[in-house]
Structure 1
Amino acid sequence: MKFIINRDQLLAPLQQIVSVIEKRQTMAILSNVLLHVDEGQLTMTGSDTEIQIVSKLNLESASDAGEITVPARKFLDICRLLPASAEIKFELHEGKVKLVSGRSRFSLSTLPAEHYPEFNESEFEHQFLLNAGKFKKGLDKTLFCMANQDVRYYLNGLLLHISNSRLKLVASDGHRLSIFEDDIGQPTGHEARIILPRKAVQELSRLLDDADTELNIQFSNNHIRIYYKDVVFSSKLIDAKFPDFSKVFNQSFMTPLLIRKQLLRDALTRVAILSNEKYKGVTFDIGGDLLKLSTHNPEHDEAEEELIIDYQGQALSISFNSQYMLDAVSNLDSELAVITIASNASSCFIEEPEDPLFKFIVMPMRM
């Protein structure tokens, strides 16, 4: 096995692959990247058995076919620290990989490619095309709401709901919920709900760096596979049913409150400095054309700030986790934020004033 490749061509796909490889592995070979050379093409594979990334690169010079696995992070560090545009000569010799670039020489230990675990995927029943920029925007607007190691394991991921030509992404940790909804661009003929695991969502958000590319998304009940440029991303799905959140829309609401997004964000950031470190609670006192934000903590520190708002409804006082509110407001694209509180004060909606693709719901807290 032998090939020559430019360091710049190798670096970005190798970084994508290494990002899915866990630092601590139950199997030593999963710390390695699988390299396969055939017919002038280098295929690199990395996996943690739950997620797999396969990247294909065309080799411009002559190569000898073969396959082997090498330590992924060491291989990446060598490539990263070599000069830009450096040529790397890669050769497998007597169970060791020799890397030569300029005056640098490296020798890496290997493990046989036949021991690399197969990523067994089920038959893909559905597929559709989707703009990468649209999908990434939806992921970024919702992923921060996913739970982390919650016993309700279906919350440790993100719901992907396909309803013919509509795409809906939903994430919740039980205290807040974000929804992104947009048009796919063409009818898919599918009605499906699948849950992507937390790590898969984060890796996809990192991977999709070209907004103009078209994705080919294939999925079954157990797996999803996404074709993006020269990369094939595969992941197992969470085998569960996402809770029905539609009931939160079927209730009466108070008069919406309009406020400048940046004013609210800055005020919340300042007031939250003196909130309880554990609960981060901030009280919203709404009445007339004023919103008063206030908080206190066990050390008896207090903060208070008043903002001018556009509101014609009844006066009320309600408390929220300041970080949850900041996350929501920061993800709005418009200058104005629309805040609508349920009549029974059980939930609060934050969205944009016109044609909102993104909705955020946060539950109040007791102070």
Structure 2
Amino acid sequence: MKATLERTELLKSLTHVHRVVERRNTIPILSNVMLQAEGGNMRLKATDLDLEVVETIAAMVEQPGATTVPAHMIYEIVRKLPDGSQVVLETSADDTTLEIRAGRSRFALQMLPISDFPDLTAGEFSHSFTISAGAIRKLIDSTQFAISTEETRYYLNGIYVHTVETDAGMRFRAVATDGHRLAQAELEAPEGSLGMPGIIIPRKTVGEIQKLLDDPEAEVQVEISEAKIRFSMGPIVLTSKLIDGTFPDYTRVIPQNNDKDLRVDRDVFKEAVDRVSTISSERGRAVKLAISEGKMVLTVTNPESGSATEEVLVEYGAEEMEIGFNSKYLLDIAGQLNKDTALFCLADSGSPTLIRDDGDADVLYVLMPMRV
């Protein structure tokens, strides 16, 4: 194999694919990236057996061929080459090393045979549809923070995506929860998604998709089966296994009868929570909200370091109440809100609270209270 590529294009592609590769691997081939040169293109592929990213970029191919080399090593080499340089990739005569040349720099990397490299893309996809990158990004950005990191509840370690019939018509919905908070975002169901199976997209896959969605206007083709999902974004194709589990019936924890509405300036509230939580302990993180007509008093008490209070003006006309929340969870949710005014729908101090942007029905958050 011998091919010449623009350093900028090669680095951009290696940046996309090398992230998939785990730094510690018991299977040597999984530490490598596959390079395949033919026609006027170079195809790069990396996988961890659960997730696979393939990207095709332009190359001047003198001799077609394919090989695999350590992914993080070639990424670091290309990253440190001079900007604007032409990079020549050429396999040695004895087929044991890949030579990388740019200007006066020479590197030789050990290769592993292409025949050992696994392929994740086998299988049929039952549903296929097109959706904008911006729409996918909104669903992910609104829900990703609520994904559970508790490995024993593996079925919560991702975003649950499905279609659902509502009063507003058929909706394409994403949900994530860790048992303490729940995030739900939805949009109009794209044509082709109707009847798709409910799927759980793993946390690592969600993070990689997020990094690959550069242009919000770009169209993304999504293909889904019971076991896999594939995203095609221009020259990049990401294929991932899905979490094999049953997502719990999340609708049971979304309150329907919270009749005490509180409206507050999002930024004022977020900054007040951030300030008073400075006092909270790493373990506790509890902040108490004392709510009465026209105002909310936030209080944090830490027996080891002291206390903090701050008063915030609100729109609230129901009976007085006190409720406690984890301040980190409150800040996470406040950070996702986009409108100037946040709407809290409350019931009582022991029941889940519904939080959303005032006037936006597409995204909602549920937060469980704490005893304070």
Residues 62 and 253 of structure 1, relative CA distance in 2, 3 Å threshold: closer
Query: Are the counterparts in 1 of residues 52 and 240 from structure 2 also a CA contact under 8 Å?
Result: yes
Query: Structure 2: how far apart are the matches of 1:203 and 1:312?
Result: 45
Aligned to 1:310: 315
Residue 202 of structure 2 is aligned to residue 203 of structure 1: no
Instruction: Tell me the secondary structure at the aligned position of residue 276 of structure 1.
Output: coil
Query: Structure 2: how far apart are the matches of 1:163 and 1:255?
Result: 27
Aligned to 1:331: 336
Amino acid at match of 2:44: M
1:276 to 246, 271, 281: 281
Instruction: Tell me the secondary structure at the aligned position of residue 135 of structure 1.
Output: helix
Query: Are the counterparts in 2 of residues 345 and 364 from structure 1 also a CA contact under 8 Å?
Result: yes
Amino acid at match of 2:21: I
Residue 182 of structure 2 is aligned to residue 177 of structure 1: yes
Instruction: Tell me the secondary structure at the aligned position of residue 181 of structure 1.
Output: strand
Aligned to 1:353: 358
Runs of 4+ in 1 over 6 A off after TM superposition: none
The CA deviation at 1:277 is 1.2
Aligned to 2:133: 132
Query: Structure 1: how far apart are the matches of 2:203 and 2:190?
Result: 26
**Residues 73-112 of structure 1: per-residue CA shift (max 9 Å, x gap):** 1101111111211100110012111111011111111111
Aligned to 2:242: 237
The CA deviation at 1:355 is 2.7
Aligned to 1:102: 103
Aligned to 2:199: 194
Residues 253 and 189 of structure 1, relative CA distance in 2, 3 Å threshold: closer
Query: Structure 2: how far apart are the matches of 1:250 and 1:260?
Result: 23
Residues 250 and 177 of structure 1, relative CA distance in 2, 3 Å threshold: closer
**Residues 49-93 of structure 1: per-residue CA shift (max 9 Å, x gap):** 11000011122x342111100111110111111121110011001
Aligned to 2:116: 115
The CA deviation at 1:342 is 2.8
Amino acid at match of 1:192: P
Aligned to 1:252: 257
Aligned to 1:29: 29
Query: Structure 1: how far apart are the matches of 2:108 and 2:305?
Result: 61
Unaligned runs of 5+ residues in structure 1 are: none
The CA deviation at 1:250 is 5.3
The CA deviation at 1:186 is 3.7
The CA deviation at 1:270 is 0.3
Query: Structure 2: how far apart are the matches of 1:65 and 1:180?
Result: 46
Query: Are the counterparts in 2 of residues 251 and 342 from structure 1 also a CA contact under 8 Å?
Result: no
Aligned to 1:66: 65
Aligned to 1:321: 326
Alignment coverage as a number of residue pairs:
366
Query: Are the counterparts in 2 of residues 254 and 343 from structure 1 also a CA contact under 8 Å?
Result: no
Query: Structure 2: how far apart are the matches of 1:44 and 1:185?
Result: 30
Amino acid at match of 2:264: I
Percent of aligned pairs sharing the same letter: 34
Q: Which moved more, 1:9-18 or 1:242-251?
A: 242-251
Amino acid at match of 2:322: S
Instruction: Tell me the secondary structure at the aligned position of residue 194 of structure 2.
Output: coil
The CA deviation at 1:213 is 0.8
Query: Structure 1: how far apart are the matches of 2:115 and 2:187?
Result: 43
Unaligned runs of 5+ residues in structure 2 are: none
**Residues 222-276 of structure 1: per-residue CA shift (max 9 Å, x gap):** 0001101101101000111111111234542132100000100100000000012
Amino acid at match of 2:320: A
Query: Structure 1: how far apart are the matches of 2:246 and 2:50?
Result: 19
Amino acid at match of 2:355: I
Q: Which moved more, 1:181-190 or 1:127-136?
A: 181-190
The CA deviation at 1:343 is 4.4
Query: Are the counterparts in 2 of residues 122 and 222 from structure 1 also a CA contact under 8 Å?
Result: no
**Residues 284-335 of structure 1: per-residue CA shift (max 9 Å, x gap):** 1001111000011130510111111100011111100001011111111100
Amino acid at match of 1:208: L
Q: How does 1:276-295 map to 2 (within 5 A)?
A: 276-295=281-300
Query: Structure 2: how far apart are the matches of 1:161 and 1:133?
Result: 18
Query: Structure 2: how far apart are the matches of 1:279 and 1:54?
Result: 44
Residues 92 and 154 of structure 1, relative CA distance in 2, 3 Å threshold: same
Query: Structure 1: how far apart are the matches of 2:351 and 2:255?
Result: 12
Aligned to 1:54: 54
Q: Which moved more, 1:259-268 or 1:160-169?
A: 160-169
Normalising by structure 1, what TM-score? 0.96
